[in-house]
Amino acid sequence: MSSYLCAIGTANPPHRIPQTQIADFMAQALELDERGARKLHALYRVSGIGHRYSVLPDYARVNGEFEFFPNTPGLEPFPSVGRRMAEYRRFALPLSVEAVQACLAQLPEVELRSITHLITVSCTGMYAPGLDIELVGALGLPGHVQRTCVNFMGCYAAINGLKLANAFCRATPGARVLVVCTELCTLHFQKSQEDDHLISNALFGDGAAAVLVQSEPAANRPSLNLTAFHCDLEPDGHADMAWHINDFGFEMTLSSYVPRMIQQGIGQLTQRLLADLPVELADIRAFAIHPGGRKILESIEQALGLSTHDNRYAYQVLREYGNMSSATVLFVLRDLLADLTAADAGAPVLSFAFGPGLTLEAMLLTVAVANQENIPDVAEVRSAMEVLSEVR
């Protein structure tokens, strides 16, 4: 049995805020002096991010008139975890539903009652009965749909969701799995001048992505066969990327050493993923890399010999949305999938995501077109890539 990623739908909150405007908010909220504000604006300028989305309108405002943060000097009393989780519960469901609707609109042959499994993924909010159960009611899914929650794993968690979907499809003939990643990162702004918090405040945004995975390719569009997965840990980075629940929200540790550690580990991760497959790195021309930040993308390019054009989908998502934790790599795959045609059948796609641990996740996907042989041997892969390079 095989599994195929057939469609991806995405959704973002209505507040699309320029990065420069968020920097203004942060400088005021952190009560920075003129020198500190200049340094902060410089950090935001080199981030590679043009806009981010938030469920909170406050980041587009200065000098008060806030809806979530207190309209007081220093934003005191600073919102508690309970206050933030109330906002998560308020906004997560409608955003998730919008992403699911965008996904299934691409597959008119798929009825909601045919969904056999629902996987929800999030690290920015939790409650019970949770988002999974609320989605069953809001979408009208059958009550017996099998539900699984992937919580608090961070930016790489979408790949874990896809691993589960792959296992369900391989184990159950006719399985149709809906994977929904919803992250409201901007609820967790930390009022701190520590470098880790300054960096994370400059990167993260809100968004949701929904994916349909089933045991056969889509009838009317290219799909992505979930061909192989590999995970590795970089123990030296255990303290450099972390995610903790504290009194005033979830606190991200994101050290400036992370890009260097990813650069050191990404080559070995790729070798191990491809070791038992009839594909080599040189055969791959399509990449879907989680844009954890501009420096991370640049470090991977240096380690694997990639160009910025190879990484264009990741840069595009980073520029338009920032880092939306687990949902981000699915936005990258969305853009890549939209560019595929029947001529790409058999082409390999390499995808990476990273998170606390330091965890390095990799997956190989293969472009599949209905009624064609979808998992080629190495000669077929190389032949397809030669044709594609001539055409492009």
Which residues are part of the catalytic machinery? 155
What values do phi and psi take at 374, rounded to 5? Answer: -100, -15
| CA 113, 117, 122, 126 torsion-angle sign | positive
- Residue 281's CB is within 10 A of a number of other CB atoms, namely 15
Phi and psi angles of residue 329, each rounded to the nearest 5 degrees, phi first = -65, -25
- Residues written for the chain: 392
| Tokens of residue 169, six digits | 């499809």
**212 neighbors 356 (Cβ within 8 angstroms):** no
Asked, as a colleague might, if the bond just before 358 is cis with ω within 30 of 0, I would say yes
Residues 6+ apart with CB under 8 A from 368: 4, 217, 222, 223, 224, 225, 345, 374, 375
Dist CA 290 CA 180 (whole Å): 17
Q: Are 379 and 388 in contact (CB under 8 A)?
A: no
Element (H, E) at 18: strand 15-18
